Structure 1
């Protein structure tokens, strides 16, 4: 699969190729901050198939958390594009930044332990309080 996307203002662009490792909606509290309150829709793609094709993002990691993720965003418009998790050979792409978001086919809902009453998980979709297998 090949995914292309970028930020709202168009300054930062990316390309990701490979077999998706996970496509999900995340309901964790941290994702609620990033998304503005909704679940975070994402696709995890292999890190070696990912590259920025226009400009470079700014990065942010919380210094007060053990194993903090790194969030990459446009320095101009602030669009959150990618999350990188320590030790995970993947880039977590935000579906809203895809050129064609209709390519998103979520397989599961994760971190539903933090789900808000107004969050929706489609009927029949596997849902996990944390990550599958934990």
Structure 2
């Protein structure tokens, strides 16, 4: 699979190639901050197949957390594009940054322990309070 995408202003572009490792919606409280309140929908793609083709992202990693993730976003418009998690062999690509977000169909919902009443989990997909075992 080949995915292409970028930020809202067009200053940051990427390509992600390979077989998706996970397609999910995450309801954790941290993702709610990043999305503005909704679940975070993402496709985890192999690190080796991911590259920026235009621009350089700004990065943010919390210094007060052990094993904190690094979030990458456009330095101009602020669009959150990917997350990198220590030890996870994938880049977590944000579906909203894809040129064609219609390719996304979630396989699961994770961190539903933090799910808000207004969040929707599609019928028929597995839901996990945290990460699946």
- How far residue 132 of structure 1 moved from its aligned partner, in angstroms, is 0.6
Task: Report the TM-score when normalising by structure 1.
Answer: 0.98
Shift of 1:105: 1.3
- Cα distance in 1 for partners of 2:124, 2:47 equals 30
Runs of 4 or more consecutive aligned structure 1 residues displaced over 4 Å after TM superposition: none
1:49-64 equivalences in 2 (<5 Å): 49-64=49-64
Aligned to 2:95: 95
Q: How far apart are the structure 1 equivalents of 2:31 and 2:131?
A: 14
Superposition deviation, residue 4 in structure 1: 0.1
1:8-64: CA deviation from partner (whole Å, max 9, x where unpaired): 000000000000000000000000000000000000000000000001100000000
Q: Which residue of 2 aligns with 1:16?
A: 16
Q: RMSD of the alignment, in Å?
A: 0.4
Q: Structure 2, unaligned stretches of length 5 or more?
A: none
**Counterpart position of 2:128:** 128
